[in-house]
Copies of this chain bind each other. A is one copy, B any other.
């Protein structure tokens, strides 16, 4: 892992993510940051999103549709995936995850370090 130097592009990416309460894909970030940096490349967006995620400054959300999404909110929370429109959003529920408390346990010799849970269904907009 290289020492990270400041970059204006990375700051802009972070700033954009901060303004969003949804979970933009790299391409959405790219489209938006382009207004401030017309010459920014998609590769730069990917590199910075991945770097920030690896540093734990943002969260990488993967719900199995083949597209990475990113979230400024790194606190542990659940997501809801609409099966019809594909939207991904926060799920405001206080249901404690069954999986908490599993961390550190070993099952069949496999050491559990974390878990992912997400819910899917039909979103409010698609139900109208």
Q: Does A116 contact B (CB under 8 A)?
A: yes
- The reply to whether A116 and B80 form a contact with Cβ atoms under 8 Å apart is no
- The reply to whether A116 and B118 form a contact with Cβ atoms under 8 Å apart is yes
* Contact status of A112 and B116, CB under 8 A, knowing A64-B64, A107-B91: no
- The reply to whether B99 and A127 form a contact with Cβ atoms under 8 Å apart is no
Quote the shortest CB–CB distance from A19 to chain B (angstroms). Answer: 21
- The reply to whether A119 and B115 form a contact with Cβ atoms under 8 Å apart is yes
- Give the residues from 7 to 53 in chain A that come closer than 8 angstroms, CB to CB, to chain B: none
Q: Does A121 contact B (CB under 8 A)?
A: yes
Q: Determine the chain B residues whose CB is within 8 A of the CB of A119 once the complex forms.
A: 99, 102, 112, 114-115
Q: Does A4 contact B (CB under 8 A)?
A: no
Cross-chain pairs A/B with CB under 8 angstroms, 17 sampled: A62-B64, A64-B116, A82-B110, A83-B113, A89-B110, A92-B107, A92-B108, A95-B102, A96-B98, A97-B98, A99-B119, A110-B121, A111-B127, A112-B121, A113-B120, A114-B119, A116-B120
